[in-house]
Amino acid sequence: MAEHDDDRTYCIACDKPLVAGDLYYSDLSGGFIHADCCGPERESYTGPDEEPLKPGEPIPEPNIWVEEPPRPAKATPGSLVGRTLEALLALAYAADVALDDGEELEDGSHKLDKDNSNKLCDAVEKLAALPDDRPGYTMGPAAKARWALRSLVGKGGAS
Ligand SMILES: [Zn+2]
């Protein structure tokens, strides 16, 4: 048997993948079969109640296969999605600590502890080190993170 791609569904008769637009039937086994791979014999078909066709009952119309949506990227450690999430979490932590230890001055500005400010910069740099591979865009750290996570959050607007 040929090697199967986990992201595809294969016809139980011809073992070829179902592609968008193919006519197919669901098999009682839970598999799927091309309409062309079903013979003309009425005995091969069941009615909507999954019972054999009654005399005079027409063979049901096949369904049209629609492409399955791509699965979201998995957030495994070391993957781009995993690294991006790590960097965002590190940034959230650094921001929390920096603001918490910081001091609000009388003019309303906020003074950050030098050490905390450095950690915040390090966290932003981790995001800045992410790939800048969206064609036609020059991306800042947040845009790189959004691009890396696009399968989870969508492409989004300016950020
Ligand atoms: Zn088939």
Confidence of residue 159 (pLDDT cuts 50, 70, 90): very low
Quote the pLDDT of residue 79. Answer: 86
Same domain, 5 and 63: yes
Using the mean position of ligand 1's atoms as its centre, give its distance from the Cα of residue 67 in Å. Answer: 16
Using the mean position of ligand 1's atoms as its centre, give its distance from the Cα of residue 33 in Å. Answer: 5
Mean pLDDT throughout 75-102?
91
Same domain, 66 and 107: no
Using the mean position of ligand 1's atoms as its centre, give its distance from the Cα of residue 65 in Å. Answer: 12
Q: Which residues of 46-70 are buried (b: 16+ CB within 10 A; e: fewer)?
A: beeeeeeeeeeeebeebeebeeeee
pLDDT for 1 beyond 60 = no
Query: Has residue 62 been placed in a domain?
Result: yes
Residues 6+ away with beta carbon under 8 Å from 11: 17, 18, 24, 31, 32, 33, 34, 37
**Which of 17, 37, 71 is a domain's end point?**
71
Using the mean position of ligand 1's atoms as its centre, give its distance from the Cα of residue 13 in Å. Answer: 5
**Which of 71, 98, 127 is a domain's end point?**
71
Same domain, 2 and 36: yes
Using the mean position of ligand 1's atoms as its centre, give its distance from the Cα of residue 37 in Å. Answer: 5
Mean pLDDT throughout 108-131?
93
DSSP sequence for 12-53: TTT-PBP-TT-EEEE-TTS-EEEGGGS-S-GGG-B-TTSSBP
Under a CB-based contact definition with an 8 Å cutoff, are residues 16 and 10 in contact? yes
Backbone angles phi, psi at 62, to 5 degrees: -70, 165
Same domain, 60 and 90: no
Quote the pLDDT of residue 24. Answer: 94
Using the mean position of ligand 1's atoms as its centre, give its distance from the Cα of residue 54 in Å. Answer: 25
Number of domains in the chain: 2
**Which of 71, 105, 132 is a domain's end point?**
71
Same domain, 148 and 84: yes
Same domain, 54 and 95: no
Quote the pLDDT of residue 89. Answer: 96
Query: Has residue 158 been placed in a domain?
Result: no
Q: What residue numbers bound the domain in which 105 lies?
A: 80-153
Same domain, 23 and 61: yes
Same domain, 104 and 144: yes
